[in-house]
A and B are shown apart, each in its own frame.
Chain A
Amino acid sequence: MIGGFGTAGMPAELIEALIAQGASDLTIISNNAGNAETGLAALLKAKRIRKIVCSFPRQSDSWVFDGLYRAAEIALELVPQGTLAERIRAAGAGIGAFFTPTGYGTQLAEGKETRIINGRPHVLEYALQGDVALIKAHRADRWGNLVYRKAARNFGPIMATAARCTIAQVSAIVELGALDPEIIVTPGIFVHRVVIAGRAPTP
């Protein structure tokens, strides 16, 4: 799992580290399929990805993905964005699957189990778990409590709950107790590693 909506919240330095680490034949769960040549696009370009699960691969600067897709060098599982978020949330909450009206009667629900609930047709969607989640937050403490910055929060909090190992890159690690318990977004129980990386943004 790789957090971010476009480049907001994308853990670019963790992705660079993943490229250096060398893992390949990966299945990536992320909202988009990379922008320009950096971050997720660089991982795609390095041909480390077998399959991508996402909602919106096609963007003005997604030429790396576009090329791989047209050459049939990558598999795509296209998921409506809310279903993607909910499948991730479900995995983190121990829910195996759920029914949703989103996508019913469309190509994206072909072959899926359906059920009428309260008179409305629903589609069965399964939870989506990751081995590893790479996310970007703003600040962390030693326990892994996280706060995010503006709309860079997006998929971070739900992906943190849905992977066996969650690694968060942050711009600062503060003393235990320095984060107000009232504003912690991701409690440390969901976070296994924190890494200081990237340029510190303005607060």
Chain B
Amino acid sequence: MTRWTRDEMARRVARDIPEGAYVNLGIGLPTLVANHFSKDREVILHSENGILGVGPSPAAGTEDPDLINASKEPVTLVEGAAFFHHADSFGMMRGGHLDVCVLGAFQVSISGDLANWHTGQPDAIPAVGGAMDLASGAKQVFVMMEHLTRSGESKIVERCTYPLTCAACVNRIYTDLAVMNVTANGLEVIDMCNRMSLDELKHVSGTTRIFGRAG
């Protein structure tokens, strides 16, 4: 089975984010998207800890402990950047001002339910951060994840078995096998990895509710 690499996935997500969008990139895989915006497109990155206009990583030796992103990694600013406090930062999410958020996930259901904060294992320490605020507040919620777990189980499921982050919130799913829109009828495939057939995709996803683009 051929798969897209993590950078290929990130490039695909970046391509779909429109000029002028305010975007929040979640921890993990979604952070790669920042490396793939084309130079002629102005996209403004939001960081939940109070920054709009996040720039690339700083050169070694110029890191500032007061200038970090949501993953607590050092960042820089672009011209035009702004700082603000936490209630304003989350007001941007919760008030529906962010155009797109890109989140990682443990599981996404075919109806767009998202599980990405807690495995529910008895020894796991739960941590939610801003995941629920982003998922319920952003105008568009994109999920970016590997299609299968390390043990080969589909992360696209009929019903999430992990605790939910937000019900029916995901608009589009980017995996290493396909790009799919969440619709009332199931998942609409808009792009698929080379040599993958729709039947194969249904098979590895363990659901029949995946269909090709009409026309």
Residues of A at under 8 Å CB distance from B?
5-9, 31, 55-59, 62, 65-66, 69-70, 76, 78-83, 85-86, 88-89, 100-108, 148-158, 185, 201-202
Q: Is B94 in contact with A107, judged by CB distance below 8 angstroms?
A: no
Of the residues B87, B93, B132, B166, contact of A158 by C-beta under 8 Å: B87
A154 to B129, CA, bound (A): 14
Q: What is the interface of chain B mostly: helix, strand, loop, or mixed? A: loop
Interface size class of B (residues with CB under 8 A): 35 or more
Choose, from B3-11, B60-68, B171-179, B182-190, the stretch at the interface. Answer: B60-68
Give Cα A80 to B135, complex, Å: 11
Question: Is B90 touching A56 in the complex (CB atoms < 8 A)?
Answer: no
Tell me the bound Cα distance from A81 to B64 in angstroms: 24
Minimum CB–CB distance for A136 against chain B, Å:
10
Instruction: Report the minimum CB–CB distance from A149 to chain B (whole Å).
Output: 5
CB contacts (< 8 Å) of A5 on chain B: these are 49-50, 68, 72, 86
User: For residue B86, which residues in chain A have a CB less than 8 angstroms away from its CB?
Assistant: 5, 31, 81, 85, 88, 154-155, 158
Supply 22 A–B pairs (Cβ within 8 Å), ascending by A: A5-B50, A5-B72, A6-B72, A8-B49, A57-B126, A58-B127, A70-B125, A80-B128, A82-B94, A82-B133, A85-B85, A100-B94, A104-B167, A105-B164, A106-B164, A151-B49, A151-B51, A151-B83, A157-B85, A157-B87, A158-B85, A201-B64
For B128, the chain A residues whose CB sits under 8 A away are: 55-56, 78-81, 108
- Give the residues in chain B near A56, CB-CB below 8 Å: 127-129
How far is A158 from B136 in the complex, measured between Cα atoms in Å? Answer: 22
